[in-house]
Structure 1
Amino acid sequence: MLGPFRWLRRRQLLRRPLPPEWLGYLDKRVPFFRELSPELRQRFLDKLKVFAWEKEFIGAGGFTITDEVRVVVAATAVQLVLFLDLSYYDRLREVIVYPGAFKLPDRTGAVLGEAKNWGTVILSWDSVLAGLRNPDDGHDTAAHEFAHVLDRADGAFDGTPKLRQYSHYREWASVMSEHFHGLQQGRRAERNVMDDYGSLNEAEFFAVATESFFEKPRQMKQKTPELYEEMKRFYGWDPAPGD
């Protein structure tokens, strides 16, 4: 439940006017923003303000956090919770942004993004922009890492976020398990929709499925309709209407 101090702080942030230049950043960098209806655009901007001003943004590797960076990264996070509550991000405290691929002490090789257990998301600015420039290729590092945050909101990286109703868990487990194992087995339907990285474990499967849900919704709806329906029920909207 939202604590009284956080609730008050968010009310204050919502009352602050949106800086006019933020709309320019969104129009320039965030294609899905231009497609929102006026009603959804206002909902999006309200959540964007809270996320952008509430979370701490930290530049790393010589990178400087500007308002444009803050707004664009926040937009990638808010897309996932447009029909969910911002409380899914309550455990997230800070977003660290590098200019490009980076190295971490506990990882071999360079990485483009990482969601840490203690409330930190680390992103490459280059990868954030690449995900937005190619909105239908199924690859979006920022969406992937913020999906991990949603997953972690109930206490564990296990591929099952806090669902809308208790009655949804049984069907979620059945459908996600079926398609996770389908991807592990190299089944054509899953491989046509999702990256093989999703076969690593259940948490990565949910994050990869999230990327595909937002970037390849029509393919997911056609090739793996049961998976699409579960993702739609959780996220609360249909990115592929009419198909």
Structure 2
Amino acid sequence: MGYVILLGVILLLVVHFYKKAKRQKVQPFPEHWHGLLLDNVLYYRNLSKERQAAFQQRMMQFLSEVYIDGVQLELHELDKILIAASAVIPVFGFEEWHYTNLSGILLYPDNFNEDMQFSSKDKSRNIGGIVGNGRFEKQMILSKKALYHGFKNQSDKNNTGIHEFVHLIDKLDDFTDGIPERLLEHQYTIPWLKLIHTEMEVINANKSDIRNYGGTNEAEFFAVAAEYFFERPDLFKRKHPELYKMLVECFRQEPALLKK
């Protein structure tokens, strides 16, 4: 069964590259998506009408550049909406952004293990998303369950979709190391590293409200901190003011000030 699923994934990747080669036009934003975004994406709901319109355009641009397919599931509109929102949120502070290191996204129905298996019999399936390497280079795999949970629970400071796109941003310099050189100006690199290591020590001493997974390494710290920054910006600013200021510089936006 595992080999069948893996073969299916590889075949889907071939389709992705073929469709990527046939560059798609940017489609008009479907009007009824506005209501779905208001209902499901707090970040979008907090934007002004003008910024919502810009967000819509950025979503459609992203969807024209990246192919999304479901593995053992039928892809729905809300799946695409939440994936596109996850992509746009962390880079919305930039006038223009293209994920040049991403060509396709596979959406799994549930969490999966390191072998990309998501059988209910497998107790090790605890991965909600990954950015691919090797034969999965320029690919992302997301769990639909984890993706939806990230937007449904607006108080837990977790968002798998945003987490994985922040990894992609980090990887733009070919290294997933927690130092997003495309975002951080050079003078901030050393202060950023010092801040990361200080915060990781606090996490690993169980004295931080930043998720424990952020203490794994610098790359995971950056992604976990970004989730918190976008999901609970007011709380993050209050509890981690120095880190908040650094992420404002990094992402060129201040989510705590939306609609204020």
Q: TM-score range by the shorter chain?
A: 0.7 to 0.9
**Residue matched to 2:179:** 160
Q: Quick check: 2:183–2:251 contact (8 Å CA) kept in 1?
A: no
Structure 1 unpaired stretches of 5+: 1-5
Aligned residue for 1:159, secondary structure, equals coil
Per-residue deviation at 1:100?
1.6
Per-residue deviation at 1:17?
2.2
Q: Quick check: 1:151–1:158 contact (8 Å CA) kept in 2?
A: yes
Equivalent runs, 1:78-97 vs 2, <5 Å? 78-84=88-94, 85-87=96-98, 89-97=99-107
TM-score between both structures, scaled by the size of structure 2: 0.79
Q: Quick check: 1:175–1:230 contact (8 Å CA) kept in 2?
A: no
**Residue matched to 1:131:** 150
One-letter identity of the residue aligned with 1:132: F
Structure 2 unpaired stretches of 5+: 1-19, 118-122
CA distance in 1, matches of 2:105, 2:155: 25
CA distance in 1, matches of 2:241, 2:51: 25
Identity over aligned residues, as a percent?
Answer: 30
Structure 1 stretches of 4+ with a deviation exceeding 3 A read none
One-letter identity of the residue aligned with 2:224: V
Q: Does structure 1 residue 27 correspond to structure 2 residue 43? A: no
Residues 221, 31 of structure 1: CA spacing in aligned structure 2 closer, same or farther, 3 A cutoff?
Answer: closer
Q: Quick check: 2:150–2:158 contact (8 Å CA) kept in 1?
A: yes
Aligned residue for 1:139, secondary structure, equals coil
Q: Quick check: 2:163–2:223 contact (8 Å CA) kept in 1?
A: yes
**Residue matched to 2:109:** 99
One-letter identity of the residue aligned with 1:112: G
Residues 181, 122 of structure 1: CA spacing in aligned structure 2 closer, same or farther, 3 A cutoff?
Answer: same
TM-score between both structures, scaled by the size of structure 1: 0.85
**Residue matched to 1:235:** 251
**Residue matched to 1:3:** none
Count of residues in Structure 1 that have an aligned counterpart in Structure 2: 227
Q: Does structure 1 residue 212 correspond to structure 2 residue 210? A: no
Per-residue deviation at 1:106?
7.2
One-letter identity of the residue aligned with 1:182: V
CA distance in 2, matches of 1:217, 1:34: 14
**Residue matched to 2:10:** none
**Residue matched to 2:242:** 226
**Residue matched to 1:142:** 161
Per-residue deviation at 1:180?
2.1
CA distance in 1, matches of 2:70, 2:28: 25
CA RMSD of aligned residues (A): 2.3
Q: Does structure 1 residue 56 correspond to structure 2 residue 67? A: yes
Q: Quick check: 1:163–1:169 contact (8 Å CA) kept in 2?
A: no
CA distance in 1, matches of 2:108, 2:169: 22
CA distance in 2, matches of 1:63, 1:72: 16
Per-residue deviation at 1:150?
0.9
